[in-house]
Amino acid sequence: MARIERNRQLYYTEGNTVRKMAAPLERPKRPSSAPREEERRERRREHRRSYRKADDLEMSLPYVAFLFVMVIMIVMSCVKYLDMNSQLSENNSKIATLQTKLDTLVTKNDAMEYEINGFIDVDYIIDTALNELGMVVAGKEQVSFYNNTPSEYMNQLNDIPED
């Protein structure tokens, strides 16, 4: 509260118009802050020195050995990762090559099968079966048809005799 009153005396003039500016009251000057600043700087320097000493103390031999082991493990992990990545790329290229070979073989196999089926003479096979092997063509009375619906099923009670 006292501060507000002091500011009012320094910077304000009562009334609705101000004809001339009131001269501000002079503030008492503080003692020079140079010695204080020097003390602060010195404390900061001392704090930095002690901080650096603490850092130097933390880097003991077991700590350095631990860091060294960790760095070695990280480097080994990176090398292993790169090795596995190269193996994966190599296996993918082998798979692509084998897939191409498989497609080629399937195409050749289909062509050979078509060619073989082109040489089969069905009429010759039927003639040989009827005349030389004694095959008899089944008549209409020997063929039975069974119409079923999807919900029905059939049980086979006996084996079909082979004659």
pLDDT in tens, 55-69: 555 678 888 899 999
pLDDT of residue 33: 59
Q: For a pLDDT cut of 90, what percent of the chain falls above it?
A: 31
How far CA 154 is from CA of 81, 141, 145, 157, in Å, comes to 61, 21, 13, 9
pLDDT of residue 76: 97
Element (H, E) at 118: helix 61-119
74 confidence band (pLDDT: 50, 70, 90): very high
122 confidence band (pLDDT: 50, 70, 90): confident
Residues 107-130 have a mean pLDDT of: 89
Structure token digits, residue 147: 């119409």
**Rounded Cα–Cα distance for residues 28 and 26 (Å):** 6
pLDDT of residue 102: 96
| The pLDDT of residue 70 is above 80 | yes
pLDDT of residue 42: 85
pLDDT of residue 158: 76
| The pLDDT of residue 152 is above 70 | no
Q: Give tens-digit pLDDT for 9-55.
A: 665 556 656 555 656 667 666 666 566 778 888 888 887 777 666 55
Domain ranges of the chain: 34-136
- Contacts of 24 by beta carbon, 8 Å cutoff, 6+ apart: 10, 11
